[in-house]
Structure 1
Amino acid sequence: MKLDIIDFNTYREPDCSSGSESDAVEDDTLDEDAESVSSSDPVSSTDESSKYSGGISSTGGAQSGSEGATWPVRSSLFPYVPPYVKFRPHDLETAYKLPCGRKFFKWKLSTITPIIVRKTLSNSGFALVRKSNQWLGTWGKHMKSPMFKTLKETQKLNHFPGTFQLGRKDRFGFLPHTYVLPQELKLLKQNWDFSGPNGGKDMWIIKPPASARGVGIKVINKWCHLPKKTSLVCQKYINNPYLINGSKFDLRLYVLVTSFHPLRIYLYPDGLARFASSKYSDDVKDLKDRTLTKLLEYMHDEGVDTKTLWKHLQQLVIKTIISSEALITPLCEENMNSYYNCYELFGIDVLLDEHLKPWLLEVNISPSLHSASPLDAHVKGPLVQTLFDIAQFHFPSRLSQNVKNAPECFDNRIYTRTLTKKERIKHANFVQFEDRNDYVYDILKDLTGDDIRHLLRAEDEYVVKGKFERIFPTAHTHKYLDFMEPRYYNRLFDAWESKYASRREDGIALLQTHCAQKVHLKVGQLNSLNKSCQSMNLGQIPTSMQPSINGQTRPLEEIMQDTSISSKMSVICEEINV
C-alpha cells in the first residue's frame, strides 16, 4: 500500500494566535440592530440532520407567517434542563429559517473568525454581526484574564483564562531538550556538544517562545550562530524521525477542553498528517489518504501497533494539558462568572521518532480552521459542527420574552458557581482525603444539586461527542490525579466514571430521577463566604505566580525558574506510567 503525501510547505495552514495574552477580542461599538454580515436561504421544516439517537429533536415553533421555519433544537437528556442549539454542517446549501428571524441569534465576528466557522453558524440560523452587545458567541483571539469577567452569563468565548500558557513552548518534559534564553544560556552551553566540525555536532531549532506560522524559526548547529541576548526557545532537533516513503511528517491533533475544573478533555481522531515532501494534490478522491485516521490505517498495514501508538498520543495530550492545569484553573475560578462562558480548541503538533515515541512540538491556542483546500473542509467542517454541539449553546433568555412558542431558554441556575452550605461542607470533606479509596466509593452516595449540575452537563456533552473521544476523565485516568492538586470535581468525576463508564445508561437514569425532582435547580446564595469557597481547595501555588495588580501573570519562562513548578512538570511528564 502506497500512502500519498502532502507537500508540508504547500499544505500547512498558519495558526491564528501565538499564545500571547495581550491579544484581545475586538471591542466594537455596540449596536443592537447591526446588519447581518451574511444571509442564507430558508429550509424545509424537516431537518434530516436532527435524526440523532442521543436525544436530538427538531421541534416546531413556527409563528404566523413563518411557514417552513423551525427552531434548531437539541433536547437535553434530563428533565427541567433547557434544550441546546443544534448546529448544522457547513456545506449545506440551505440554512435554518428561524420563526423569529435571526435578530435573537447573533454571533460576533472577530478578525480571525474562519470561513468554515461562519458557514456553520450561518447554516445554523445565526446572524453574523460586527457590532452588537447581544451576541451569543464569538470566535476570537485570546484576551487578558480579567476581561473574562465582562462576559454576560449567556455568552460563550472560545478560550479560557490563562490558556496562553499552553501556547508557549518554554518547557515540557516530553519536548526535546529545551532551553529558555537568555535565562538558561549557561545551562545550554554546558550541554552543547562542541566536538563536531565548526563547533557544533547537534542541530538545534531556535524560535520565539510564543511564535506561530513558523515565523522566526531557524535551525543552527554552531554556537556562534546563537543569539545570546534575545528571548528565544532553543530546542534540540529530532534527527531520527519516523519516516514514511522516505519523508518526514508531523501530526496535528485537535483537542477540545470544555472545562478545567472539573477537567474534561476530548481528542478528535481525524486530525492531519503533514508531510515535508512530495507535491500537494487537491484531488478529492485522495483526501482521506492525508487524515490521521488514514495514516494510522496505513501504519497498521505496515505492522505498526497503532493501538498502542494512539494510547501514547492520548497520554501526551493529557500530560500537556495537566502540566499547565495548576496555572489555568485558579485563573478560571477567579475570572469566570459562569461555567457556561468558555470552551477551547487546541492544536497540538506531534512528531514521531524512529521508535514511534511521540514528541510534543508545540501547542496552538488558536489552531487554524481555515479551509483553503478540500482536505481542510473534509476534516475541519465536521470538527467545527461537533465542537459547537459539545460546547452546548442555549437559546437566549430574551427570546422567550419576545417570541411566542419559543423553546425553553437559558437557565443560569444550571451554570451557577455558588454553593449551598451543605455543598461547601461536602467539598471540604472530600478534598482532604489523601487515599483514593477514602472518597471514590462515598462521594456519590449523597449527590447534591451542584454535583448533579456538573454531571448532567458532562453527560449532555458526551452524547453528542461524535468522532471526538473523551480521554479525560475516564475509568482509567485516575492515575493522573496524583500529579494534580486535589480538586473536588475531579474526584467526583473519577468516582462517576469508575462506577458508570461501562453502564452509562444507569448513571443517566439516576440523574434523570434527581432532575425530575428538580434537585439540580436548588442553588446557593452568593455571599462573601460563598465567593471565597469558589476558589477553595484549588491547591496552593506560589505567590509569585498569582496575577499582578494589572491582572497579568508572569511569563512562563520566569515561572519556570520556580523550582516547585519546574519539578512538578518534570514529575508529570516523566513519572506517570499508564
Structure 2
Amino acid sequence: MYHICVKKPVLSYRPLFQNFLQKLRKFIDCGESDSEPEANADELDNASEHSLEESNRESSEVSSSFSPQETGSGDSVAWPIRPSLFPNIPPYIHFNTHDSEVEFKVPGKRHFKWKLSTITPVIVRKTLTNSGFVLVRSEFTRESNQWLGTWGKHMKSPMFKTLKDSQKLNHFPGTFQLGRKDRLWRNFQKMIAKFGYKEFGFLPLTYILPQELRLLKQSWEFRSGCGEMWIIKPPASARGVGIKVINKWSQLPKKTSLVVQKYISNPYLINGSKFDLRLYVLVTSFDPLRIYLYPDGLARFASAKYSDDVKDLKDRYMHLTNYSINKLSSQYTANEDANACQGHKWTLSKLMEYLETAGVDTKALWKNLQSLVVKTMIACEAPIVQLCEENMCNRYNCYELFGVDVLLDENLKPWLLEVNISPSLHSASPLDAHVKGPMVQTLFDMAQFHLPQRLAMQCRNCPPCYEPKLYSTNLTKRERSKHGVYAQMENREDYLEGVLKDLTGDDVRQLVRAEDEFVVKGRFEKIFPTSQSHKYLNFMERRYYNRLFDAWETKYENKREEGIALLQSLCAKKVHLKVASPSTFSKSSQSTNHSEGNIQPSTEGQSYPLEEILQQTRITNGVPN
C-alpha cells in the first residue's frame, strides 16, 4: 500500500482577514526590505489559491505584462522569469550566471528565499545571489519554512513528505540505491543475473563484507595464482576516504563493513598516468525516466606514473585519481586553463580532442559512455521509483545531479567506478568554474522553479505563480484505465500509436513539463528518452509514462514544432488543468504502472538487511548462480 499525501483544504477568505490584507497592502510594496511587516505565513498560504486563479494569465503575456520597475534608489527591477511554451502555464524563474557582473534585482526579493545547508557550494551561492535570491539559514528566520529551494545532503526518504508543494530539493527519495557502493552492486547483481554480463558487466566484480566474506575467500583462492589486485572501499564513503589497493588476504579487514572490488589493473594511460572521468548527469524525473548528460565533465589524473608492480600498491597518488587525494601530492600540477591539455585535471571536451588526435573513435566512445549512464540509472530505478511513490507528495519537489565516475581500460572499455549523489562542485580554479558554472545555471533553469503562491498576496501586478494542479499525482478514472491498458501491452507496436491518441490531462502535464525543460537544456544532452532509446525499455518494468514518452519521441523528436503545437492547442483548452480530486484513491503510481505482481512498500536503505538480497542472487567466481 502506498502512502497518499493529503494536503490541508484551502480556507476561504474571512472578512477579518480581508480587512487585514487591505490595511497591510497600504504599507507593503514588493521592493521594500525584509524589515517591513508581513502577513502570517500560514494564512497567506491558505489564501493563495484564490489569488492564484485571479493572476493566472496566459504565459504568452508574461514578457510584455511585467516590465521593469524603478526602486527608490533608481535601480531597475524586473521579474527574473521566462514564459512557458504553452498557454495557461505559469512562468518559470530564470537564473543568472555565477559570474555575471549584473545582479538581478527582484521586486519581490523577500519571497526569493533559498535555504542554505552546510554543503551549499560557492558556485551555487553565486548563481543564486546573482539571480536575486536571499540566502537564509531557516532555523534563524521568522519564516522557518518559507524557502523555494535548497542544495544539501540526501535525507531519509520519509523526510521528503515534509516538503511543501512549492519547494524543491536537489535529491530524490531512494537515490542511496545509486550512491551507496553496496546498494549499487546489489542492483547490478540482479540485472546481471537477469540480462547477463554482456549488458551489465561494466561494474567490476564486487563483494560486500562481512556478509560475503566466505564467497570472497573462495574467489580469492580460485584466482590466487593470477596475482590479481583488489580495491577496498567503505560502502558510503566519498572523495577517496578509506580506499586502498591490496593483493594479499592478510591485508583485508575481515570484520569491517567494506566493498571489495576487482581492481582494473590495465587502465588506459596518458603520458604514463592513470585517469578517470567525472560525468555530470541530471535526472529530472524517475517516472517517467528523463536523463541528461553534460558534455563537458572532468578528466582527473593520478599524480604519479602508473605501475602494476606489487611494491607500488601503497602509492595512493598512483592508483587513485580523486582530486581530494592528488592535490596533496608534491607532484600534482594544477591546470588553470580550461582549453589546455596539461596538468592533472582536464576538461572532458579537451580530453576527447586529445584522444581523437591519438586515433581514438571518440564518437563511439561517447556513445558507450551514454549507454553506461542510461543502464546505470535503469539498474537502480525500480527501487527508487518505489520510494518516490511512497514519499513524494507531488511531481514538483525533486531533481538530482549525479557525478558518475568512469575508468577506461587499455581497450577503451568504460568501467563504472561509483555514483556520487552529492558531487563536488568545488570551483576554486578557472577550469572548474568553466565547467561547473554554466552547468549549474542551466540545471536550475531545467529544474523549473515557479514563483511562490504567497507572492501573489503581497505583490501588485505579479506574474502567475505556482499552480499545484500541474504537479498532481492524482489520476481520474479514465486516466487510470488508460494506464492499465497500455502498461500491460506486450509489444511496442501495440502502444506506439494508440497511446498518443486522445491525450489525457495527465498526459499533457507530463509532456508539457518535458518540453519546457528541453527548450532550456543548454549544453545538456538528453540521452533518455529519445527516439532510439526504446531498446533500454527491455531492461525495465513496464511503466505507462516511459511508453508514453517512447511514442512521443519516436513521432516528434525530429519535428518538435508539430508536437509543441499539439500541446499548445490542448493547453489553450485547459485540458492539463483537469485533475482528479485529492480525496480520490488515484495515486498515479498505483499498480497500473507495474507489470509484475504486487510490489510491497520498501524499507529505508541503510537499515534494510542485505541478507534478504543475498538470498535472491549470488555471483561466485564471476558467474551468476
Q: TM-score, structure 1 length as denominator? A: 0.84
Over 3 Å counting, the alpha-carbon distance change for 1:301 and 1:317 in structure 2 is same
1:270 to 288, 296, 303: 296
Query: Which amino acid in 2 is paired with 1:107?
Result: W
Shift of 1:537: 2.6
Q: Secondary structure at the match of 1:227?
A: coil
**Residue 165 of structure 1: aligned partner:** 177
1:135 to 126, 130, 147: 147
More deviation, 113-122/558-567 = 558-567
> Distance between the aligned counterparts of 1:252 and 1:57, measured in 2?
38
Deviations 1:146-185 (A, max 9, x none): 1111111100000000001100222134211111112222
**Residue 127 of structure 2: aligned partner:** 120
CA contact (8 A) 2:63 2:83 kept: yes
> What is the 5 A alignment of 1:431-450?
431-450=487-506
Q: Secondary structure at the match of 1:166?
A: helix
**Residue 17 of structure 1: aligned partner:** none
**Residue 240 of structure 2: aligned partner:** 214
1:253 to 257, 270, 279: 279
CA contact (8 A) 1:61 1:406 kept: no
More deviation, 285-294/228-237 = 285-294
> Distance between the aligned counterparts of 1:273 and 1:81, measured in 2?
40
Shift of 1:34: 8.1
**Residue 432 of structure 2: aligned partner:** 376
> Distance between the aligned counterparts of 1:484 and 1:56, measured in 2?
40
Q: Cα RMSD over matched residues? A: 2.5
Deviations 1:514-572 (A, max 9, x none): 111111111111235214864543355887x7434xx55654844641526999xx99x
Shift of 1:284: 3.3
Over 3 Å counting, the alpha-carbon distance change for 1:163 and 1:326 in structure 2 is same
Query: Which amino acid in 1 is paired with 2:119?
Result: I
1:405 to 453, 461, 464: 461
Matched, 1:68 2:70: no
More deviation, 401-410/527-536 = 527-536
Matched, 1:331 2:395: no
> What is the 5 A alignment of 1:200-211?
201-211=227-237
CA contact (8 A) 1:252 1:348 kept: yes
Shift of 1:92: 1.4
Matched, 1:93 2:119: no
Matched, 1:561 2:614: yes
> What is the 5 A alignment of 1:347-386?
347-386=403-442
Query: Which amino acid in 1 is paired with 2:177?
Result: Q
> Distance between the aligned counterparts of 1:155 and 1:559, measured in 2?
36
> Distance between the aligned counterparts of 2:340 and 2:438, measured in 1?
14
Shift of 1:286: 4.7
**Residue 419 of structure 1: aligned partner:** 475
Deviations 1:2-25 (A, max 9, x none): xxxxxxxxxxxxxxxxxxxxxxxx
CA contact (8 A) 1:148 1:336 kept: yes
> What is the 5 A alignment of 1:126-525?
126-131=133-138, 132-170=144-182, 171=185, 172=188, 173-193=201-221, 201-277=227-303, 279-284=332-337, 286=339, 290-525=346-581
Query: For structure 2, which runs of at least 5 residues remain unmatched after alignment?
Result: 1-32, 36-59, 139-143, 189-200, 304-330
Q: Secondary structure at the match of 2:181?
A: coil
> What is the 5 A alignment of 1:100-119?
100=108, 102-119=109-126
Query: Which amino acid in 2 is paired with 1:471?
Result: I
CA contact (8 A) 2:340 2:350 kept: no
Q: Secondary structure at the match of 1:506?
A: helix
More deviation, 67-76/261-270 = 67-76
CA contact (8 A) 2:296 2:348 kept: yes
> Distance between the aligned counterparts of 1:63 and 1:340, measured in 2?
33
Query: Which amino acid in 2 is paired with 1:524?
Result: A
Deviations 1:480-500 (A, max 9, x none): 111111111001001000101
Shift of 1:223: 0.7
CA contact (8 A) 1:418 1:534 kept: no
Q: Secondary structure at the match of 1:284?
A: coil
CA contact (8 A) 1:560 1:566 kept: no
Over 3 Å counting, the alpha-carbon distance change for 1:468 and 1:368 in structure 2 is same
Over 3 Å counting, the alpha-carbon distance change for 1:157 and 1:201 in structure 2 is same
Query: Which amino acid in 2 is paired with 1:218?
Result: K
> Distance between the aligned counterparts of 1:566 and 1:555, measured in 2?
20
Greater C-alpha Rg: 2
CA contact (8 A) 2:473 2:588 kept: no
> Distance between the aligned counterparts of 1:385 and 1:457, measured in 2?
18
> Distance between the aligned counterparts of 1:409 and 1:520, measured in 2?
16
> Distance between the aligned counterparts of 2:266 and 2:246, measured in 1?
17
Q: Secondary structure at the match of 2:295?
A: strand
Shift of 1:226: 1.1
CA contact (8 A) 2:268 2:408 kept: yes
Aligned length: 513
> Distance between the aligned counterparts of 1:195 and 1:178, measured in 2?
14
Over 3 Å counting, the alpha-carbon distance change for 1:286 and 1:515 in structure 2 is closer
More helix by share: 2
Percent identical residues: 65
> Distance between the aligned counterparts of 1:211 and 1:113, measured in 2?
19
Deviations 1:242-272 (A, max 9, x none): 1112111000000000000000000001000
Query: Which amino acid in 1 is paired with 2:288?
Result: P
CA contact (8 A) 2:71 2:77 kept: no
CA contact (8 A) 1:194 1:201 kept: no
Q: Secondary structure at the match of 1:563?
A: coil
Q: Secondary structure at the match of 1:254?
A: strand
Over 3 Å counting, the alpha-carbon distance change for 1:319 and 1:124 in structure 2 is same
Shift of 1:281: 2.8
Q: Secondary structure at the match of 1:269?
A: coil
Q: Secondary structure at the match of 1:107?
A: strand
Q: Secondary structure at the match of 1:495?
A: helix
Q: Secondary structure at the match of 1:397?
A: coil
Q: TM-score, structure 2 length as denominator? A: 0.78
CA contact (8 A) 1:449 1:523 kept: yes
